[in-house]
Chain A
Amino acid sequence: MISTAQATCAVLTYEDLTLHPIILTVLQRLFLGVVTLIIVSVIIFAAIEMLPGDFGEAVLGQAATKETVAAFRRELGLDQPAYVRYFEWIAGVFQGDLGTSFSGRAASGVDRSREVAELIAPRLWNTLFLAGMTAIIAVPLALFLGITAALYRNTYYDKIVSASTLTTISFPEFFVAYILILLLTALWPVFPSLANIDAATPLGERIYRSALPALTLTLVIVAHMMRMTRAAIINLLANPYIQMARLSGATQREVIIKHALPNAWAPIATVIAFNLAYLVVGVVVVEVVFVYPGIGQLMVDAVTSRDIPVVQGCALIFAITYIFLNLLADIIGIITNPRLLHPK
């Protein structure tokens, strides 16, 4: 009797411990995400190491004395091996310390430089604000257009939506941006052409000034998401099970929403995640056109002036965002795909 109970107990614990294959896969992906992040941090660190020239002299200028340069190199730890500096850098990152910017240092040794984290934080917030504003408009719009275009396929509605999204997907961001500037600031002054905002700007003013960059980004990403949504649904329509649903008397609307859409979520989610990642990082051009004080512009400036700690900080933030959103796309893909749920 006792032994039976023990046996049952053992079986139960065994069943509890055996995770559903999907959770295992998800955990595996999460683990790989962390590993990816570590490798990316090494690459970012190494890429900066490969910058040509001695940046002690480059930062402090021609007039710097040998002693100042040596002191600066010692402060940066350039006299230590690379792996030691890598671990120190990573340890700092975990404590929210991204190092000190190179700009503001002078040959005289007077230090007016600022903390990288302090430089990045307000600009990161600005970029996230712009990206969030765009996403709130773009994602529902793209899904709506994509599903309805698939629903009314080959009608004039579909043709007009497809043609106009095809047109905007083909436009470089700066083209869209300059057309909007030409129309909405130069010819009919509705919006400001420069999106100069700061922390003190009130929300309404902030939205008003960010309208043109957000509009530009929306036009650019809606097209891609909409087309992939439409394509994902239409690709499924050639499948036998859709034929079966049609033969059993389902209407076009039922076929698309009840039968095709559930299987189309995986590619759609992937595309949305890609586009959101793109939003946070691909805003560089738009930020430069509108002189929007975001992290992309900060990074371009830092790359030009070879402000290494700032470049590292920005690149790391971009990488974390990218990895997180790709991971999300992967996990949604696993959860929603029945064929991956039950492998052969």
Chain B
Amino acid sequence: MSQEQTAYSAKDEVTSFLEKRTAWSRTKILLRKSPATARFGMIVIAIYILVAIFAPWIAPYGEAEVFAQPYAPWGGEHLLGTDQIGRDIYSRMIYGARNTVGIALVTTILAFVIGGGLGLAAAINRSWLDQLLSRGVDVLMAIPSLIFALVLLSIFGSSAINLILIIAILDSTRVFRLTRSVAVNVVVMDYVEAARLRGEGLGWIMRREILPNILPPLVAEFGLRFCFVFLTIAALSFLGVGIQPPTADWGSMVRENASLIQFAQYDLKAGLTPLLPASAIALLTVAVNFVVDWFLHHTSGIKD
């Protein structure tokens, strides 16, 4: 035992000095330095994710369960009252996290796969491909997305799959524009020229030369784009053509309970009911924006 203690190992000493920080420890250091707003944002996002995953265990009632009393006041059996046909609003809020956020997330990822890939390709290949895609995007963007979505949804019907596909394709045009315009400034750099001259293919230049240099704005855009998609879906549901009842969704819940706002003078809680799902939407977008803002500040390289 004493032998072990006295034994000297140069390797041990050296490795302890040169110990490389793992991704986890680097993340911990980064998080320790994060501002309060970003921490708030991350906590809120984490709560939303937990609620979305464990919705059936948290909610006291089912999302489409109808009770005898419509427009029940707050408190008692129903924490936040019931809606116009007597469904528990608290339970619907919880299920809404799963439906509304889940659909928005899937849509955003799809929009980035389509828009980001094509945007990079267009920025590198500035010839016919760029012209074709840019004009194609111009055409798609020339029709306002909410209106376009309205028309398309009325043609193809308001199912979740159609909603995801339509919004993803319409929003990918924005991603395309951003990716292309950021990438164009990188493409003219000498190291990209060098890569091209040594005969690298389109895929390599996209992945290894340009993507790392435009990643920060793209990640930030992912957060912001998620917010836009989330708000668009909420708006469509609000207009009655998005996520269809009886699926619990925050946008349509606002519309269904909007008339309660007129009673705010007599019962403030009733007046606040339509604002609850709307503020659930707002809180998540605020949280995402806080995190994106911190991320942008962190990656912009300005430290003063």
What is A's interface to B at a CB cutoff of 8 Å? 32, 35-37, 39-40, 43-44, 47, 50-52, 162-163, 166-167, 169-175, 178-179, 181-182, 186-187, 231, 234-235, 237-238, 277-278, 281-282, 284-285, 288, 296, 299-300, 303-304, 306, 311, 314-315, 318-319, 322-323, 326, 344
- Residues of A near B235 (CB, < 8 A) are 172-174, 284-285
Tell me the B123-182 residues at the A interface (CB within 8 Å): 135, 138-139, 141-144, 146-147, 150-152, 154-155
A326 touches B144 (CB 8 A): no
When chains A and B are docked, how far (Å) is the Cα of A204 from the Cα of B34?
A: 50
When chains A and B are docked, how far (Å) is the Cα of A174 from the Cα of B152?
A: 22
B239 touches A284 (CB 8 A): yes
Closest 4 CB pairs of A and B: A170-B285, A281-B144, A175-B278, A186-B264
- Can you list 30 A-B contacts (CB < 8 A)? A36-B142, A40-B142, A43-B139, A51-B154, A170-B282, A170-B285, A170-B286, A171-B278, A171-B285, A172-B281, A175-B254, A175-B282, A178-B261, A178-B275, A179-B275, A182-B264, A182-B272, A186-B261, A187-B264, A234-B302, A238-B300, A238-B302, A284-B146, A285-B146, A285-B238, A285-B239, A299-B147, A315-B147, A318-B144, A326-B138
When chains A and B are docked, how far (Å) is the Cα of A171 from the Cα of B282?
A: 5
Closest to B152 in A: A47
B271 interface contact, C-beta 8 A: yes
B262 interface contact, C-beta 8 A: yes
Contact with A along B278-304 (1 / 0, CB 8 A): 110110111011100100100011100
A319 touches B234 (CB 8 A): no
B227 touches A170 (CB 8 A): yes
- Residues of B near A43 (CB, < 8 A) are 139, 143
When chains A and B are docked, how far (Å) is the Cα of A166 from the Cα of B278?
A: 16
B135 touches A322 (CB 8 A): no
Closest to A327 in B: B138
- Residues of B near A306 (CB, < 8 A) are 154
When chains A and B are docked, how far (Å) is the Cα of A284 from the Cα of B104?
A: 21
- Residues of A near B147 (CB, < 8 A) are 281, 284, 296, 299, 314-315, 318
When chains A and B are docked, how far (Å) is the Cα of A39 from the Cα of B138?
A: 10
When chains A and B are docked, how far (Å) is the Cα of A35 from the Cα of B142?
A: 12
When chains A and B are docked, how far (Å) is the Cα of A303 from the Cα of B139?
A: 21
A44 to chain B, nearest CB (A): 7
B263 to chain A, nearest CB (A): 8
B99 interface contact, C-beta 8 A: no
A172 touches B282 (CB 8 A): yes
When chains A and B are docked, how far (Å) is the Cα of A90 from the Cα of B138?
A: 21
A310 to chain B, nearest CB (A): 12
A174 touches B238 (CB 8 A): yes
Interface of A (DSSP majority class): helix
When chains A and B are docked, how far (Å) is the Cα of A114 from the Cα of B85?
A: 38
Contact of A44 among B143, B264, B279, B302 (CB under 8 A): B143
When chains A and B are docked, how far (Å) is the Cα of A198 from the Cα of B80?
A: 40
- Residues of A near B251 (CB, < 8 A) are 172, 174
Closest to B296 in A: A231
When chains A and B are docked, how far (Å) is the Cα of A271 from the Cα of B301?
A: 24
B274 interface contact, C-beta 8 A: yes
When chains A and B are docked, how far (Å) is the Cα of A284 from the Cα of B235?
A: 9
B278 touches A174 (CB 8 A): yes
When chains A and B are docked, how far (Å) is the Cα of A142 from the Cα of B151?
A: 32
A287 to chain B, nearest CB (A): 11
A47 touches B239 (CB 8 A): no
- Residues of A near B278 (CB, < 8 A) are 171-172, 174-175, 178
A326 touches B265 (CB 8 A): no
Tell me the B92-148 residues at the A interface (CB within 8 Å): 135, 138-139, 141-144, 146-147
B258 touches A36 (CB 8 A): no
- Residues of A near B286 (CB, < 8 A) are 166-167, 170
Seed contacts A36-B135, A43-B139, A171-B285; 11 additional CB < 8 Å A-B pairs: A50-B155, A51-B154, A171-B282, A172-B251, A178-B275, A237-B302, A281-B144, A284-B150, A285-B238, A303-B150, A322-B141
Closest to A50 in B: B155
- Residues of B near A166 (CB, < 8 A) are 286, 289-290, 293
A198 to chain B, nearest CB (A): 24
Closest to A318 in B: B144
A228 to chain B, nearest CB (A): 11
- Residues of A near B275 (CB, < 8 A) are 175, 178-179, 182
B261 touches A181 (CB 8 A): yes
Contact of A187 among B234, B265, B293 (CB under 8 A): B265
When chains A and B are docked, how far (Å) is the Cα of A40 from the Cα of B275?
A: 38
When chains A and B are docked, how far (Å) is the Cα of A306 from the Cα of B154?
A: 9
B189 to chain A, nearest CB (A): 11
- Residues of A near B37 (CB, < 8 A) are 163
Tell me the B213-239 residues at the A interface (CB within 8 Å): 227, 231, 234-235, 238-239
B50 interface contact, C-beta 8 A: no
Closest to B230 in A: A172
When chains A and B are docked, how far (Å) is the Cα of A199 from the Cα of B164?
A: 40
When chains A and B are docked, how far (Å) is the Cα of A299 from the Cα of B239?
A: 12
When chains A and B are docked, how far (Å) is the Cα of A52 from the Cα of B153?
A: 12
B207 to chain A, nearest CB (A): 24
When chains A and B are docked, how far (Å) is the Cα of A170 from the Cα of B142?
A: 24
Beyond A166-B290, A318-B147, whether A172 also contacts B139 by CB under 8 A is: no
B195 interface contact, C-beta 8 A: no
Contact of A319 among B143, B258, B272 (CB under 8 A): B143
B231, B281, B288: most-surrounded residue (chain A CB, <10 A): B231
When chains A and B are docked, how far (Å) is the Cα of A242 from the Cα of B50?
A: 46
When chains A and B are docked, how far (Å) is the Cα of A314 from the Cα of B146?
A: 13
- Residues of B near A181 (CB, < 8 A) are 261
Tell me the B245-266 residues at the A interface (CB within 8 Å): 251, 254-255, 258, 261-265
B303 to chain A, nearest CB (A): 10
A66 to chain B, nearest CB (A): 27
